[in-house]
Amino acid sequence: MSKGKKAIKKQKKKAKLLTIQAPEIGPTVLLDSSFVLALLNVRDPNYKAVKGIFGFVEPYNCRFHIPLYVFSEVVSKIIQREKRVSCALKIIENFRKELHGILLTGASPSLEEILDRYKILASRKKLRFLQSNDFIIATEGILSKSIILTCDVGMYEKVKRNYGDIYFVATDSRKYKNDIPKLTKKLLELSKNSKKNLPPKI
């Protein structure tokens, strides 16, 4: 083998060793206000169920879709509970720092965008009975094709009629006990498919 060919082979080997594979990005998962509030409060009746699901979801390096409306609602509720703004902000900041995966806050929809969502979805008898915040949060999830996790049975039942990728996660979820197995299956399938679509290693 000539010196030139040996040098090229050596360079390729060196480049292969230095190549850093980009981490695989998992599915987009929208965390509803009820889910985040339960996760941040060990005294919440849904804490155990939510913590378990969150622990299962985290290793998938998800895009955690937490709309600004969710953060606003969560901060407001924590302030009411803790009676101190600084305490609430510290809890949220720690949550953001410890969050594995990618944080996606989504859009801050304008009035025109909100009205368009009502025209598109509500006119077709979709989500028309949701409260304003829930409507915006739900449509954020639907339009971004997120997996939505919630402990709010009212929101769940209204959204589920028209959007399959919403899952009810609560300690007392006997009525919807199949949701967690379905979520588990969904994540495993997405993980399997994403690995198939990965580009070949250099």
Nearest CA-CA partner of 149 in 33, 27, 52: 33
How many Cα atoms are found within 13 Å in the side-chain-facing hemisphere of 55?
A: 6
- What DSSP designation does 164 have? S
pLDDT tier for residue 68 given thresholds of 50, 70 and 90: confident
Read off the pTM.
0.75
Cα angle: 196, vertex 22, 93; to 5 degrees: 115
Give first-to-last CA distance, the chain, whole Å: 23
pLDDT tier for residue 1 given thresholds of 50, 70 and 90: low
* Rounded Cα distance, 30 and 155, in Å: 14
- Amino acid letter, residue 141: G
- Report the run of H or E that residue 96 belongs to, with start and end: helix 85-98
| pLDDT of res. 33 | 93
The architecture CATH gives domain 23-196:
3-Layer(aba) Sandwich (3.40)
* Rounded Cα distance, 177 and 170, in Å: 9
- Amino acid letter, residue 24: E
Q: Which residues contact 96 (CB under 8 A, 6 or more apart)?
A: 103
Highest mean pLDDT among 1-10, 94-103, 149-158: 149-158
- What DSSP designation does 45 have? T
Highest mean pLDDT among 21-35, 82-96, 168-182: 82-96
Write down the mean pLDDT value for the chain.
78
* Across 146-163, average pLDDT: 89
pLDDT tier for residue 144 given thresholds of 50, 70 and 90: confident
Domain ranges of the chain: 23-196
130 touches 138 (CB < 8 A): yes
> Hey, what long-range contacts does 68-71 have (CB within 8 A, 24 or more apart)?
68/105, 68/106, 68/108, 69/33, 69/133, 69/136, 69/137, 69/140, 70/31, 70/32, 70/33, 70/36, 70/137, 71/105
| pLDDT of res. 199 | 43
